[in-house]
Amino acid sequence: MPPSRLDRVLRIFTDVRQGEGVTALLMFANVFLILCAYYFIKPVREGWISVSDTNVLSGLTKMEVKAYSSFCQGALLIVIVRFYSRLVDRVARARLMLVSTVFAMSNLVIFWFLQPGFFIANLPWTGFAFYLWVGIFGVFIVAQFWAFVADVYNNDNGNRLIPIVAVGATAGAAFGSAITSHLVSSGIVSSQFLLLAAIVPLGISLVLTLIVDARESNEPEAMLRHTAHAPLPRANDEAHTPKGAIALILGSRYLLAVAAITLLTNWVNTNGENLLFEVVQDSLARQALDQGVARPDEVLQFTKDGTTAFYGSFYFWVNVSALGLQSLLASRLLKYGGFGAVLMLLPVVALFSYSVMALVPVLAVVKFMKIAENSTDYSINNTARHVLWLPVPSADKYKGKPTIDSLFARLGDGLAALTVLIGVQALALSRAGFFSFTVALVVVWIGVALVVVREHTKLIGRADGLPPSESTPEPAN
């Protein structure tokens, strides 16, 4: 049977074979909607935490509250991962996606009701709780989708079709942030209703997930692996224990370096996000003073709307830039520069960006440099994060990747919180001092990245002539 017109159109972007176009397009639309919903929610988080009553936290600054919440996310994730793992073992993948997504949608309704200045003036701790929830939502809903993609596709068609899906993720993030910025800044929709708006794309994405699951479960290869109506295959018991996963990582030089680079990437990025937030709040405070906004309730609303509008614009430019990089540069850089080029690009960009921010820590410069860093992270570095697992044995992927992507990433966020604690409370560092410390972290990051590139090259060399699943990372000394 010749390829359909859709298959031929999608071949502009990648190698799409007969019958693959419909599922690829459904996956594209699915992740587009998930990321669109996420970027409806994310700016609301920044606006909410900016007006939260932090007196309940012993007079800490909003920057400190925002940073410490990352550490709390890490602690909560340890509990959530264990509960989620039990759910994975007990239900079919369609029901797993249904339960978790509907639960997230119900949470959005609850937080919509609790927003400050809406039904309730300003309930203590709600901004902090919402900040934690958004961070966890961003990890699990997006990660759950990519797990679903990996379950539907095999190594051959996954390598060919995942680039199309990745473009859908970047496009959805850009579209969601653009709509958020426009609706809030124009006054068409109040920021309070963005949480309800996010339910719509999230619900449609769930429908698309169930359609894909029904389509692919009827394929012969999928039926050989498992059925959609049976619980997902259980890995060996060791993979379900933190000790087993951590022992695997500590026992492999390559996986240990991957864990270290994940930790450092998050540490550096979270430092930058905290500093950007502080610069934005200072700028809005000066704007309120210049415009004669003096009443406490007016200052509160001005700060919330200004923060939400700024981050809507910020995320839009991040995601538009990431979309361009993902569509035009990522595959070409990997093809012609190799794994080392895609892995090393982000730390090099970060080194330049934070060096400039340390010298000129003003809002326009910080915003531009953070757009450059984040867009590279969400495109080129995201490609590197997937590619580095290809030479690792399958069992090690299932043990190591979830642990590194959740626990070690949040450990990096926790170290960023510790940076704030020591820098603010003990050392009284200036803003330029925080940026300079981050530059030093990036130098360490570059060193670890070189180790990952070297170990990756060794793994590929040892795997020559062998299936990728039979190559084994070298033990750590």
Q: From first to last of the 477 residues of the chain, give the pLDDT tens digit.
A: 566 777 667 666 666 777 778 888 899 999 999 999 998 888 777 777 666 655 545 556 655 665 667 677 777 877 776 676 667 667 777 888 898 899 999 999 998 888 766 666 666 677 778 888 888 888 778 877 877 777 777 656 766 777 778 788 878 887 887 788 777 777 776 777 888 889 999 999 999 999 998 887 765 554 444 444 455 444 444 444 444 567 778 888 999 999 999 999 999 998 888 888 888 888 888 888 877 777 777 777 788 788 888 887 888 898 889 888 887 887 778 778 888 998 999 999 999 999 998 888 888 888 999 999 999 998 889 878 877 877 776 556 656 776 787 778 888 888 888 888 788 777 877 878 888 899 999 999 999 999 999 998 888 777 555 544 445 566 665
Query: Do 217 and 260 lie in a common domain?
Result: no
Quick one: how far is CA 401 from the chain centroid?
A: 14
8: domain CATH number? 1.20.1250
> Residue 120's beta-bridge partner residues?
116
Counting the structural domains of the chain, the total is 2
pLDDT at 103: 92
pLDDT at 88: 64
Query: Do 284 and 135 lie in a common domain?
Result: no
Query: Do 135 and 263 lie in a common domain?
Result: no
**pTM value > 0.95:** no
Of the residues 234, 249, 271, the one at which a domain ends:
234
Contact assessment for residue 70 and residue 414, using Cβ atoms and an 8 Å cutoff: yes
Query: Do 316 and 395 lie in a common domain?
Result: yes
Query: Do 114 and 177 lie in a common domain?
Result: yes
Could you tell me how many residues make up the chain? Answer: 477
Query: Do 213 and 319 lie in a common domain?
Result: no
Query: Do 473 and 397 lie in a common domain?
Result: yes
Query: Do 219 and 337 lie in a common domain?
Result: no
Of the residues 202, 234, 266, the one at which a domain ends:
234
pLDDT at 434: 85
Instruction: Give the range of the structural domain holding residue 276, as residue numbers without chain letter.
Output: 238-477
Q: At what angle do helices 93-114 and 194-217 cross, to 10 degrees?
A: 180
Q: What span, in angstroms and rounded, lies between the C-alpha atoms of 16 and 153?
A: 13
The single-letter code of the amino acid at 30 is N
Query: Do 63 and 203 lie in a common domain?
Result: yes
Of the residues 200, 234, 268, the one at which a domain ends:
234
Count the Cβ atoms, other than its own, within 10 Å of residue 289.
11
Q: What span, in angstroms and rounded, lies between the C-alpha atoms of 296 and 293?
A: 9
Query: Do 227 and 259 lie in a common domain?
Result: no
Query: Do 175 and 63 lie in a common domain?
Result: yes
Quick one: how far is CA 396 from the chain centroid?
A: 22
Query: Do 217 and 276 lie in a common domain?
Result: no
pLDDT at 476: 64
Q: What span, in angstroms and rounded, lies between the C-alpha atoms of 279 and 289?
A: 16
pLDDT at 472: 56
pLDDT at 68: 67
Q: What is the token pair recorded at 71?
A: 């550490």
